Amino acid sequence: MDYIEKVLDKVREWTRKLIDAVLGPEAQPEPEAIPIPVNDRRVRR
């Protein structure tokens, strides 16, 4: 019985790798944008 479980684990691992190869890795949330302060003053002389 233990042998069958090991085989099933390997099959699951290979299936996961195959899906990742075909569809790409699992979607990860995009990082939140960090606001960057901008000096918008226009100096005219």
Per residue of the chain (45 residues), give pLDDT as tens: 789 999 999 999 999 998 888 887 666 777 888 888 887 776 655
Whether the predicted model's global pTM rises above the 0.75 cut: no
Structure tokens at 2: 């233990």
Q: What is the pLDDT of residue 43?
A: 62
Give the count of beta carbons closer than 10 Å to the beta carbon of residue 35: 6
Structure tokens at 13: 């691992």
Q: What is the pLDDT of residue 14?
A: 95
Place of tokens 């899906």: 19
Residue 28 to residue 22: CA distance in whole angstroms: 16
